[in-house]
A = this chain, B = another copy of it.
Amino acid sequence: MAAVQWPENVGILAIEVYFPSTYVCQEKLETFDGVGKGKYTIGLGQKKMAFCDDQEDINSLCLTVVKGLLEKNRIDPKDIGRLEVGTETIIDKSKSIKTVLMQLFEKSGNYSIEGIDTTNACYGGTAALFNAVNWIESRSWDGRYAIVVMGDIAVYAEGNARCTGGAGAIAFLVGKDAPLVIDQGIKGTYMQHCYDFYKPDMASEYPTVDGKLSIKCYFTALDKCYQLYKEKFARQQQTNLQKTTISDFDYMIFHTPFCKIVQKSFGRLMLHDLLDLEDDLDSNMQEKYKELIKYRGIDLESIFDDEKLCKDIERSSVKCSEMMFKEMTKPSLLLAENIGNMYTPSLYGGLVSLLVNVDQDSLLNKRVVLFSYGSGLASSMFSLKICPEEGLQAKFLKLVYQMQSVKTKLSQRIEVEPDEFGRILKRCEETHHLSDYTPMSSLDNLWPGTYYLTNVDKKFRRTYARKPKTSKFVETAETSCGFL
């Protein structure tokens, strides 16, 4: 065995978030779609949904977010040694988005950047993050930073599911001595073959979805990952598995296809904890689990077949976990509520929301547990520690400071009415796959500094330009957000 040393505190050094400047209001969409009032807003827990017009595609989203990360953190492009993209918005079966992003490094002369694209539904970003961390801990590492990029444009055919779309991209700068440190060795992973949500119609942007199966798969994966995560956590902490519960963690965030499923997931984990307990419950425990005690001994896997029982359990577990949910998870839903499902960035939008919504002192030295889910299916539960050492505080404060602009940006977006939103999606549906195409939509709505598609030529080659950062609009929007 060769004696060596792994770098310490490998994790996330900086974060950049991008979402489109246009949204549609979910309440208005309920009226427009003629569904029951509250179906989207209460039933699913959604407020607004972001979307792109035809001048943005997955390449432009990723260009925008990576350029932003480099600029705002004043990173020399030569200092990047790895860049990997996680996405399920595939517009080329062979050429990776990673290679498109290499344009951002040309001027620096840095062509030596490992990593390509990785795909499995909403799980791609998580796989890319794990790969980046492993790279830094391996003998391949050359001392440079990694960038992890995740982005998607989530659109659905007209009908029931359209309200669960969204769009956005997030990029992480990954390295050692980071303020958000990935816990290594305590990861629960669960993968299984299933057709819950997939995109087999290659000519369409829209997925094929088996809604009911999809929910079952999500919860099954959650159960399995949580069990494994708890086992590994208990072993690492040398504590009793039985006594390991969500109370041992500080924050729990989840991949968020829609917000309501997250609250149900949190409740489910509480039930999971109860089912794990073998001992008699003392009075404290009886109080803590009072709404759920009647379900002790139930087989979690079997309840899916009984719709009424399922609903009863959901209701009870949501009620039982309500206070803890408000503390540990609700602050992570800001972006999901206001943007919708960004697919690969969804879980990490939860992390950003947490950093934005919780005061800094309540974050220091805390453990965040993350549940990543991608249909098909691939899932992992893992965790990170926020600023576990004093020496990392300056970096942590900088990271949190940079995130503050997210709230301002959310509030500065432009609302589009449902009928216009429908027309835009129709246009994208008809044109997203065309060659010899010039986008028709106006650039006026784009944030300054946003990359956009200028043309797809006869041979399907795509070219991009960037909206200037130096307009009056930039100065207002970005300076006031405290961006560098």
Residues of A at under 8 Å CB distance from B?
Answer: 1-8, 88-96, 98-103, 106, 111-121, 123-124, 127, 130-131, 133-140, 142, 184-185, 187-195, 197-203, 207-208, 210, 224, 228, 374-378, 380, 433, 435, 459-461
Contact = CB atoms under 8 A, between A and B. Distances in A.
Contacts of A198: 92, 94-95, 460
Contacts of A197: 94
A188 B112 contact: yes
A435 B203 CA distance: 13
A121 to B, nearest CB: 5
B134 A95 contact: no
- Of the listed residues A101, A117, A375, the one surrounded by the most CB atoms of chain B closer than 10 A to its CB is A117
A114 B95 contact: no
11 contacts: A2-B5, A94-B374, A95-B195, A96-B121, A99-B120, A99-B376, A99-B378, A115-B127, A134-B135, A138-B138, A203-B203
Contact of A195 (B89, B112, B461): B461
A43 B407 CA distance: 62
B96 A378 contact: yes
Contact of A131 (B124, B134, B207): B134
A200 B100 contact: no
B459 A208 contact: yes
A98 B118 contact: no
Given A99-B376, A224-B111, A118 B120 contact: no
A470 B284 CA distance: 62
Given A8-B2, A135-B134, A184-B138, A117 B119 contact: yes
10 nearest A-B residue pairs (beta carbon): A200-B460, A139-B184, A137-B138, A93-B199, A96-B120, A95-B376, A134-B138, A116-B120, A95-B198, A94-B199
A119 B124 CA distance: 12
- Of the listed residues A6, A95, A133, A139, the one surrounded by the most CB atoms of chain B closer than 10 A to its CB is A95
A364 B297 CA distance: 60
Contacts of A4: 4-6
Nearest to A3: B5
A118 to B, nearest CB: 5
A33 to B, nearest CB: 24
Contact of A113 (B2, B8, B119, B189): B189
